Amino acid sequence: MPRLTLWLVVVLVLAAAATPPATAALLESFDGQQREFDYFALALQWPGTYCRRSRHCCPSNGCCRGSNSPTVFTIHGLWPDYNDGTWPGCCSRSSFDPKEISTLTNVLEQYWPSLSCSSSSTCHGGKGSFWAHEAEKHGTCSYPVFRNEYDYFLAALNLYFKYNVTSVLNEAGYFPSNTEKYPVGGIISAIENAFHASPLIVCSKDAVEELRLCFYKDFKPRDCAVGSDIKIDMVTSKGSCPRYVSLPELGSVRHDGLQSWISDDVTL
């Protein structure tokens, strides 16, 4: 997607930020039982890998939108994590309120869509939307950096646009393909050169499934790697990726559950 288009979206998001909801109490009820997190991980999912596992269509599945389906990395979540490799979860007794992020919904639908038809688990024994899961499980643990769900979602969007992984890989020559394999070290280097920090990559077999960027609490980039393993292992989720990986083209999911592949000329 052209940089100009992304920056226009950023302007819209910032405009929405000027008039936040009057009340957004999801994170304000932080129960204080969980120790404070150390850093944020912005988890991005590659739709070409996720969507090829889809077997059914529904209104909530971003894979089923035809020409409007995502062809760029989309947001999985903004996750508070610990330096020891663990993470907190479900740090509030409150429930997700979709009205609090109503001014962000259009942007979230495009850049933070669900890529399945399954309902997500919530922190109180129920099922809900993809956003409800992320807000309750991860967003509530971002206190005291964020005290409401609106600020949490807005920050994730702004990080996503500022650190545009899709454009970085495009400029480095990495495009969606069902035939090409790319050196995982080259993908890592492209991100490091752009953001001056090491990402973490998660693969499904030889396909990139997720790419995570990590940030200090002031949102400056930091390495995702922890521990003393060799660098490739640290930034590929303990070696979950082979040396050469693919970025599968987006598959379109038909209502009969079968898949077809869209044109080869789709770019990152």
Task: Print pLDDT tens along the chain (268 aa).
Answer: 444 444 445 545 454 444 454 445 555 555 556 789 999 999 999 999 999 887 788 988 999 998 889 999 999 999 999 999 999 999 988 899 999 999 999 999 999 999 988 889 999 888 899 999 999 999 999 999 999 999 999 999 999 999 999 999 999 999 999 999 999 999 999 999 999 999 999 999 999 999 999 999 999 999 997 654 444 454 555 467 999 999 999 865 555 444 443 333 333 4
Closest by CA to 37, choosing from 77, 89, 76, is 89
Please say if 56 is a catalytic residue: no
DSSP, res 147: S
- Is 138 annotated in the active site? yes
**Annotated catalytic, 255?**
no
From 138, 149, 209, 249, active-site residue: 138
Neighbouring residues of 152: CB distance < 8 A, sequence distance ≥ 6: 27, 78, 135, 139, 142, 146
Q: What superfamily does domain 25-261 belong to in CATH? A: Ribonuclease T2-like (3.90.730.10)
Reduce the DSSP state of residue 261 to 3 states and report it.
Answer: strand
Identity of residue 221: P
- Which of the following is catalytic: 100, 134, 149, 249? 134
